Amino acid sequence: MELTVLDSTDTQASGCSSSGCGSTDDQLAHLPDEIRDKVYNHPCYSEQAHHYFARMHVAVAPACNIQCHYCNRKYDCSNESRPGVVSELLTPDQAVKKTLAVAANIPQMTVLGIAGPGDPLANPERTFATFRMLSEQAPDIKLCVSTNGLALPESVDELAKHNIDHVTITINAVDPDVGAKIYPWIFWENKRIKGREAAAILIEQQQKGLQMLTERGILVKVNSVMIPGVNDEHLKEVSRIVKSKGAFLHNVMPLISEAEHGTFFGLMGQRGPEPEELQNLQDACAGDMNMMRHCRQCRADAVGLLGEDRGEEFTLDKIEAMEIDYEAAMVRRAEVHRSIEAELNQHAQAKPAAPTDIDPDARPVLMAIASQGGGVINQHFGHAHEFLIYEASPAGVRFISHRKTDNYCEGGDTCGDGESVLSRTIGTLSGCEAVLCSKIGYEPWDMLEAAGIKPNGEHAMERIEDAVAAVYREMWEAGALSAVDEQLVVA
Amino acid sequence: MSLRIVSSCVNCWACQPVCPSDAILQAPKHFVINDRKSTECEGSYDVPQCASICPIEGAITNAAGEAMNPPGSLTGIPPEMVAAAQAEIRAR
Ligand code: SF4
Ligand code: SF4
């Protein structure tokens, strides 16, 4: 089992330390006020906000100007949930119509993103036509765009014109030799360019674009895909450089490389990182800038809260039939946003019981939580598609990450397969010492105990941070944390 | 006969916006090149733009019916070396 020991300076910098996700002390705490004002209601940027505010993506930009080894351009699949996958490609007019329909029906929606499939800036007409219409017709919606960065420098002025204040650049390398293992080729100045030369051009454009955006006061988040054996060590350097150039968040995401997705890496047998490897790298990159820990790597046409997808309610034929009065919707949206803000402020004031009198040398403990949202423990172990991982230490409770599972308990006829799915689920919880859920059956109970993970159903409907703090205290009182066990510390 | 898009096309759209002659169309099964419109990029670019951005080996063929991007040309791995490359990548 691996446990990282959290030193006190890191605790300060990483926020989320005492209240987990409260808006006065969340992972955005280090940001200047003007940036926090821009992102406090952005579900992708704030661990707290994503329980309350929703986002949507529209797929208007199909073409791409580079090839990544983790991407398969055959993106039309309705059963998969991952970036680049989409079931409906929209024209700019359709995208605007869909956005207005979603914003009117889901007033919690604050953000519209264009993230492909393809590169939005390799499709400038479609992307900018969409932004132009939306900034006129729906001025209360924040606009964001994700790009590979190749065409970024030439697009910065246009982006600034449409008042887009968030751009995500995917930067997987700053060294062309590393880049060449990730990008086989780019389309540049009307030619295909391969290998190291291609990676060098791409990297130069990304860095130039990053600098141009921050100079204009446009927020930049950097996404990186962690590819074991390729860029895992290198991403620490990437993190350092993009921070120094003014990126406000760095989001390190795990490579998705199942062979059935048909990507080069998938077919060639490149593995993705284990949850613990990812977490260790995220910790190493944290430093003076916080890491995004709750990214769900959503579909390019996802609609709704993070972790849910209501896209089915807003297919083209369905929105065609909807009558939207956006003026009225805007009034209602403003009301809903105000009441969410009030609730968030209240949460921020309600500090959880920090385990103050616990020996500062007590070791930290990871716990897994089954939750359907709302910041409380409210899900049956067997129904969880993902677990939230929290760390309790004498410094407090903080959110670390989420880990996906195939939920094993689908009832009835699928139960024959239950056991192997259950053991896979338990495998994804490795490193955790307790799992907190609303209920749990006998069979998983026994298997969890055998794996050294303590099941706990006593804190159903309680706030996550409070329950984690309480369980940590019980462990302390039972003498389970007394000293740092040498074997558990990872150098 | 000029360039042709064949059935291995995955409808990724990449070629369509880069064609200087507006010769590439979405069709029921996959994208197609309008023979009468395509100039093979002569006078505009040194290389056919569609074949230079297409990510799928074999999806675009030349007048002789040969792949513009033959197997191995885009992944960078010659077909006879795939097994060796696979072993190296698996070891990561
Ligand atoms: S060869 Fe050039 S002109 Fe002909 S279809 Fe391809 S891009 Fe268009
Ligand atoms: S670039 Fe290739 S795969 Fe993509 S649409 Fe054109 S021909 Fe098809």
Which residue is closest to A265 within chain B, CA to CA? Answer: B89
pLDDT at A489: 47
Protein residues whose CB sits closer than 6 Å to any atom of ligand 1: B 3, 19-21, 23-24, 33, 38-41, 48-50
Per-residue pLDDT band at A44 (split at 50, 70, 90): low
Query: Is B76 within 8 Å of A192 when comparing Cβ atoms?
Result: no
Highest mean pLDDT among A202-206, A270-274, A413-417: A202-206
| pLDDT score of A15 more than 70 | no
Adjacent-strand bridge partners of A391: A366, A398
Nearest CA to ligand 2 atom 3: B9
| pLDDT score of A470 more than 70 | yes
- The stretch A455-484 carries a mean pLDDT of 86
Choose the closest CB to A268 out of B14, B16, B86. B86
Choose the closest CB to A269 out of B55, B56, B86. B86
- The stretch A53-80 carries a mean pLDDT of 80
Mutation test residue for ligand 1: of B50, B53, B54, B60, the one with most atoms within 8 Å of CB: B50
pLDDT at A343: 76
Query: Is A229 within 8 Å of B92 when comparing Cβ atoms?
Result: yes
Query: Is A184 within 8 Å of B90 when comparing Cβ atoms?
Result: no
pLDDT at A284: 85
pLDDT at A295: 58
At B84 the three-state DSSP class reads helix
The type of residue at B57 is: E
Show the CA angle centred on residue B18, arms to residues A203 and A219, nearest 5°. 40
The type of residue at A319 is: I
The type of residue at A457 is: G
Q: What is the mean pLDDT of chain A?
A: 80
Per-residue pLDDT band at A89 (split at 50, 70, 90): confident
- Given CA atoms A81, A83, A89, A90 in this order, what sign does their dihedral have? positive
H helices within A78-186, ranges in order?
92-105, 124-137, 152-161, 176-179
* Total tally of structural domains belonging to chain B: 1
| Among candidate residues B90, B11, B59, B92, the one with its CA nearest the CA of residue A259 | B90
pTM of this structure: 0.75
| pLDDT score of A475 more than 80 | yes
- The stretch A313-323 carries a mean pLDDT of 85
DSSP letters along A30-64, please? TS-HHHHHHHTT-TTT-TTGGGT-EEEE-------
Rounded CA separation A370/A189 (Å): 50
Tokens at residue A270, please? Answer: 């490149």
- The stretch A170-194 carries a mean pLDDT of 97
Tokens at residue A3, please? Answer: 């446990």
pLDDT at A250: 87
Which one of A70, A190, A265 makes the best mutation probe of the B interface by having the most chain B beta carbons within 10 Å? A190
Which residue is closest to A183 within chain B, CA to CA? Answer: B75
| pLDDT score of A121 more than 80 | yes
Rounded CA separation A188/A200 (Å): 12
Residues of A in contact with B92 (CB under 8 A): 227-230, 270-271
pLDDT at A405: 76
Query: Is B49 within 8 Å of A190 when comparing Cβ atoms?
Result: yes
pLDDT at A388: 86
Tokens at residue A76, please? Answer: 């039309």
Side-chain-facing half-sphere of A191: CA atoms under 13 Å:
7
| Complex confidence, ipTM | 0.95
| Among candidate residues A98, A163, A101, the one with its CA nearest the CA of residue A128 | A163
Percentage of chain A exceeding pLDDT 90: 39
Percentage of chain A exceeding pLDDT 70: 76
Q: Does B26 touch chain A (CB under 8 A)?
A: no
Give the domain range for residue B75: 4-91
Q: Which of the ligands is closest to the CA of residue B47?
A: 1
Rounded CA separation A391/A4 (Å): 10
pLDDT at A354: 55
Query: Is A195 within 8 Å of B76 when comparing Cβ atoms?
Result: yes
Per-residue pLDDT band at A79 (split at 50, 70, 90): very low
| Among candidate residues A400, A299, A441, the one with its CA nearest the CA of residue A387 | A400
Domains of chain A: 17-318 (3.20.20.70), 365-488 (3.30.420.130)
pLDDT at A321: 84
- The stretch A28-46 carries a mean pLDDT of 67
Nearest CA to ligand 2 atom 8: B9
Rounded CA separation A424/A160 (Å): 47
Interval A151-169: pLDDT, tens: 999 999 999 887 686 899 9
Query: Is B92 within 8 Å of A190 when comparing Cβ atoms?
Result: no
pLDDT at A315: 85
Rounded CA separation A95/A150 (Å): 24
| Among candidate residues A448, A480, A216, A199, the one with its CA nearest the CA of residue A364 | A480
Q: Does A185 touch chain B (CB under 8 A)?
A: yes
Q: Does A129 touch chain B (CB under 8 A)?
A: no
Q: What is the CATH number of the domain that holds B52?
A: 3.30.70.20
Q: Does A265 touch chain B (CB under 8 A)?
A: yes
The type of residue at B83 is: A
Residue that is written with structure tokens 């709704």 in the block: A304
Residues of B in contact with A73 (CB under 8 A): 10, 12, 14, 55-56
Query: Is A67 within 8 Å of B55 when comparing Cβ atoms?
Result: yes
At A108 the three-state DSSP class reads coil
Residue that is written with structure tokens 């100007």 in the block: A65
CB atoms inside a 10 Å sphere around CB A264: 21
pLDDT at A298: 62
H helices within A138-233, ranges in order?
152-161, 176-179, 195-215
Rounded CA separation A90/A111 (Å): 18
| Among candidate residues A425, A414, A438, A398, the one with its CA nearest the CA of residue A275 | A425
Q: Does B78 touch chain A (CB under 8 A)?
A: no
Rounded-to-5 percentages of helix, strand, coil across chain A? 40, 15, 45
**Nearest atom (ligand 1) to Cα of B40:** 1
Query: Is B12 within 8 Å of A76 when comparing Cβ atoms?
Result: no
- The stretch A27-34 carries a mean pLDDT of 62
Residue that is written with structure tokens 């290198």 in the block: A234
Tokens at residue A119, please? Answer: 């590169």
| pLDDT score of A214 more than 90 | yes
Choose the closest CB to A63 out of B16, B76, B91. B16
User: pLDDT 10s per residue in chain B (92 long)?
Assistant: 589 999 999 989 999 999 999 999 999 889 999 999 999 999 999 999 999 999 999 999 999 999 999 999 998 888 888 888 989 999 98
**Nearest atom (ligand 1) to Cα of B33:** 5
| pLDDT score of A462 more than 70 | yes
| pLDDT score of A353 more than 70 | no
Distance from CA of B36 to the nearest CA of A (A): 22
Q: Does B18 touch chain A (CB under 8 A)?
A: yes
Q: Is residue A223 a contact partner of residue A231, using CB atoms and an 8 Å limit?
A: no
Protein residues whose CB sits closer than 6 Å to any atom of ligand 2: B 5, 9-15, 30-31, 53-54, 56, 59-60
- The stretch A460-479 carries a mean pLDDT of 89
The type of residue at A268 is: M
CB atoms inside a 10 Å sphere around CB A162: 17
pLDDT at A20: 32
pLDDT at B46: 94
Whether residue A117 is preceded by a cis peptide bond, meaning omega within 30 degrees of 0, is: yes
Q: Does A473 touch chain B (CB under 8 A)?
A: no
Tokens at residue B39, please? Answer: 């100039």
Q: Where are the beta strands (DSSP E) in A341-419?
A: 365-369, 386-393, 396-404
